[in-house]
């Protein structure tokens, strides 16, 4: 019976992990704006979560625990990137963060404009903003996930939203001042 | 979260929008916002921003397969599964090929014999033999059967015309430097002027594009493509046999 309950618990844990996949991916994408990288980060997060299953003492903390792992994976990714200095990776990063897809899109669609603006935020601000807005974590939870004080969470969030507001105004399509009216000419 | 009555900070409003205030602070915020239109506007703005961020990432782009340098475990598993499928496919293809190969040789002999026996109308028989495999055993059996047929017709003084059309691996039969039966084909051509050989132009073109120097046996024709040649012959009432 004990073995059976162990199996069912493990099965339940796997299901929970699978259910978290979409949410982890959404946040990983909001941090990286790179679908392939986001997918890899999520895979790595889930794989680490499976391996260190035993470390999760309180099951209700699963969600923030998973996002802590994602944060670590993200950090590792940058550390590796600095060490290897792969020119292709640097190019990818530059493209993703500064040029075409987001910016071009930004001119036409609100989704693109917001993603473009979020991509231009400082990394720390981007992380806080997305964890609060997309995942609705409390400030205390975000502080624990990112291992920073609550005060820093609040100030980063405040700066992020201020910057976002300015950027969205900047990126808004310019309305033509000259509005041509239809006139009837006899 | 202490708050000065006179100035409401952005941090405080953010916390209000994110529902991070204690009950007492929240009532204080509601009261302040109710009396101040500027505050109301700021709260609206913050809520709008929050909603916009949510909306922007509601449907992130579909996940793509991992690219070079960032292979995940899942992609390795997929690659492994693909390799296994390939092996199974190749193995089953090989066995099927062997069986059907044997079958088609027998089939060819049967067809050739039926052609031999059913020549009732006295019309000249015209047979097109399609070779698409480079398997030497099958090539040999095609040549054997064709030769015995030609021989039988000659002995009984009946007219017969045979054309062997080769494409794909079958073109090897007609390549001067590759063909295992170059000498035999030469002898057959000498012996039977009613036997012709055609190679597929498309296959030769592809081989040449790959940098292969294709030299055909003497007196071998080149069709624009094997398909064209076969279609043309079928329209002219030739009998088609696939090796």
Question: Any idea what the CATH number is for the domain that residue A65 is in?
Answer: 1.20.140.160
- Work out the angle at residue B182's Cα, subtended by the Cα atoms of residues B178 and B184, and round it to the nearest 5 degrees: 150
State the pLDDT confidence band at A88, using cuts at 50, 70 and 90: very low
User: Do A168 and A119 contact (CB within 8 A), yes or no?
Assistant: no
Range picked from A136-140, A176-180, B175-179 for highest mean pLDDT:
A136-140
The pLDDT tens digits of the residues spanning B4-27 come to 444 678 899 999 999 999 888 888
Query: Which residue(s) pair with B197 in the sheet?
Result: B164, B220
Cα–Cα distances (Å) from A93 to A26, A101, A103, A122, B177, in that order, read: 18, 12, 14, 14, 54
Query: What does the DSSP 8-state code read for residue A134?
Result: T
Cα–Cα distances (Å) from A29 to A1, A49, A85, B75, in that order, read: 42, 19, 22, 19
Is A1 a residue whose pLDDT tops 50?
Answer: no
User: Do B114 and B216 contact (CB within 8 A), yes or no?
Assistant: no
Which domains does chain B show, CATH number per domain? 10-56 (no CATH), 103-242 (3.40.1260.10)
Would you state the pLDDT for residue B51? Answer: 92
User: Do A70 and B15 contact (CB within 8 A), yes or no?
Assistant: no
Would you state the pLDDT for residue B101? Answer: 46
Is A158 a residue whose pLDDT tops 80?
Answer: yes
Q: A171 in helix, strand or coil? A: helix
- CA atoms within 13 Å, Cβ hemisphere of B89: 6
Q: A108 in helix, strand or coil? A: coil
Residue A183 is assigned to a structural domain of this protein: no
Compute the CA torsion angle B164, B169, B172, B178 (nearest 10 deg): -160
B contact residues 57-116, partner A, Cβ 8 Å cutoff = 57, 60-70, 72-74
Would you state the pLDDT for residue A168? Answer: 87
Would you state the pLDDT for residue A23? Answer: 92
Cross-chain residue pair A115–B57, CB shorter than 8 Å: yes
Say how far residue A90 (Cα) sits from the centre of its chain. Answer: 19
Q: Higher pLDDT residue, A172 or B41?
A: B41
Establish, for the pair of chains A and B, how many residue pairs have beta carbons separated by less than 8 Å: 86
Average pLDDT, chain A: 79
- DSSP letter string over chain B? ----SS---HHHHHHHHTT-S-HHHHHHHHHHHHH-HHHHHHHHHHHHHHHHHHHHTSSPPPP----TT---HHHHHHHHHHHHHHHHHHHHHHHHHHHHHHHHHHHHHHHHHHHHHT--S-PPEEEEEEE----HHHHHHHHHHHHHHHHHHHHTT--EEEEEEE-GGGGGGGBTTT-TTHHHHHHHHHH-TTEEEEEEHHHHHHHHHTT----BPTTEEEES-HHHHHHHHHHTTPEEEE-
Question: Could you read off the pLDDT tens digit of each residue along chain B, which spans 243 residues?
Answer: 544 444 678 899 999 999 999 888 888 889 888 888 888 999 999 999 999 999 999 888 876 554 444 455 555 667 677 767 776 766 666 655 544 444 445 555 555 555 554 444 555 688 888 888 888 888 888 888 888 888 888 888 888 889 999 998 888 889 988 888 888 898 898 888 889 999 999 999 989 888 888 889 888 889 988 888 898 888 888 888 887
Cα–Cα distances (Å) from A22 to A30, A85, A134, in that order, read: 12, 30, 12
Q: Higher pLDDT residue, B78 or A171?
A: B78
Residue A68 is assigned to a structural domain of this protein: yes
Residue A131 is assigned to a structural domain of this protein: yes
Q: Quick one: which of A90, A123, A103 has its CA closest to A167?
A: A103
Cα(B87)–Cα(B77) distance, integer angstroms: 15
Structural domains of chain A, count: 1
Cross-chain residue pair B63–A35, CB shorter than 8 Å: yes
Would you state the pLDDT for residue B96? Answer: 55
State the pLDDT confidence band at A82, using cuts at 50, 70 and 90: low
Would you state the pLDDT for residue A142? Answer: 95
Residue numbers of the domain that contains A41: 2-171
Cα(A7)–Cα(A22) distance, integer angstroms: 25
Residue A179 is assigned to a structural domain of this protein: no
Cα(A129)–Cα(B88) distance, integer angstroms: 50
Backbone angles phi, psi at B239, to 5 degrees: -90, 130
Order of strands across the sheet that contains B195-200: B220-223, B195-200, B160-166, B125-131, B239-242
Q: A158 in helix, strand or coil? A: helix
The pLDDT tens digits of the residues spanning A10-66 come to 667 788 888 899 999 999 999 999 899 999 999 999 999 988 887 877 778 888 999
Cα(A120)–Cα(A102) distance, integer angstroms: 10
pTM over 0.80: no
Residue A152 is assigned to a structural domain of this protein: yes
Candidate from A30, A39, A164 with C-beta closest to B49: A164
Is A90 a residue whose pLDDT tops 80?
Answer: no
Cα(B29)–Cα(B31) distance, integer angstroms: 5
State the pLDDT confidence band at A140, using cuts at 50, 70 and 90: very high
Residue A65's contacts (CB-CB under 8 Å, 6 or more residues apart) are A49, A56
Find the chain A residues whose C-beta atoms sit closer than 8 A to any C-beta of B: 25-26, 29-30, 35-40, 43-44, 47, 86, 88-89, 110-111, 114-115, 118, 129-130, 132-134, 138-139, 154-155, 157-158, 161-162, 164-165, 168
- Of the residues A18, A111, A113, A159, the best mutation for testing chain B's interface (the one with the most B CB atoms within 10 Å of its CB) is A111
State the pLDDT confidence band at A124, using cuts at 50, 70 and 90: very high
């Amino acid at each position: 019976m004990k073995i059976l309950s162990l199996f069912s618990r493990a099965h339940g844990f796997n299901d929970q992990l699978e259910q978290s996949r979409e949410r982890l991916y959404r946040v990983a994408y909001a941090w990286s704006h790179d679908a392939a990288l986001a997918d890899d980060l999520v895979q790595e997060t889930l794989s680490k979560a499976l391996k260190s299953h035993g470390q999760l003492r309180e099951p209700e903390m699963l969600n923030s625990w998973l996002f802590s792992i994602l944060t670590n994976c993200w950090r590792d990714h940058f550390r590796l990137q600095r060490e290897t200095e792969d020119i292709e990776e640097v190019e990818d990063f530059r493209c993703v963060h500064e040029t075409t897809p987001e910016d071009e899109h930004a001119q036409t669609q609100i989704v693109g404009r917001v993603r473009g603006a979020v991509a231009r935020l400082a990394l720390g601000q981007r992380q806080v903003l997305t964890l609060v807005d997309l995942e609705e974590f409390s400030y205390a939870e975000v502080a624990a996930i990112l291992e920073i004080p609550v005060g820093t969470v609040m100030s980063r969030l405040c700066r992020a939203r201020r910057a976002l507001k300015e950027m969205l105004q900047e990126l808004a399509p310019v309305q033509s001042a000259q509005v041509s009216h239809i006139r009837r000419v006899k | 979260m202490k708050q000065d009555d006179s100035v409401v900070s952005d941090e405080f409003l953010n916390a209000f929008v994110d529902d991070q205030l204690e009950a007492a602070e929240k009532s204080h915020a509601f009261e302040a916002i109710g009396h101040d239109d500027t505050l109301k506007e700021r709260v609206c703005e913050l809520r709008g921003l929050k909603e916009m961020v949510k909306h922007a990432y509601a449907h992130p782009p579909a996940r793509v397969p991992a690219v070079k340098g960032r292979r995940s475990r899942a992609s390795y598993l997929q690659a492994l599964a693909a390799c296994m499928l390939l092996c199974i496919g190749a193995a089953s293809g090989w066995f099927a090929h062997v069986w059907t190969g044997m079958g088609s040789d027998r089939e060819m002999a049967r067809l050739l014999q039926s052609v031999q026996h059913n020549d009732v109308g006295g019309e000249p028989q015209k047979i097109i033999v399609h070779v698409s495999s480079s398997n030497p055993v099958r090539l040999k059996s095609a040549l054997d059967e064709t030769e015995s047929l030609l021989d039988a017709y000659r002995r009984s003084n009946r007219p017969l015309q045979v054309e062997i059309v080769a494409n794909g691996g079958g073109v090897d039969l007609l390549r001067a430097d590759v063909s295992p039966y170059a000498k035999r084909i030469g002898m057959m051509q000498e012996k039977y002027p009613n036997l012709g050989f055609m190679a597929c132009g498309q296959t030769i073109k592809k081989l040449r594009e790959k940098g292969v120097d294709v030299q055909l046996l003497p007196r071998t024709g080149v069709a624009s493509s094997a398909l064209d040649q076969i279609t043309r012959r079928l329209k002219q009432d030739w009998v088609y046999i696939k090796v």
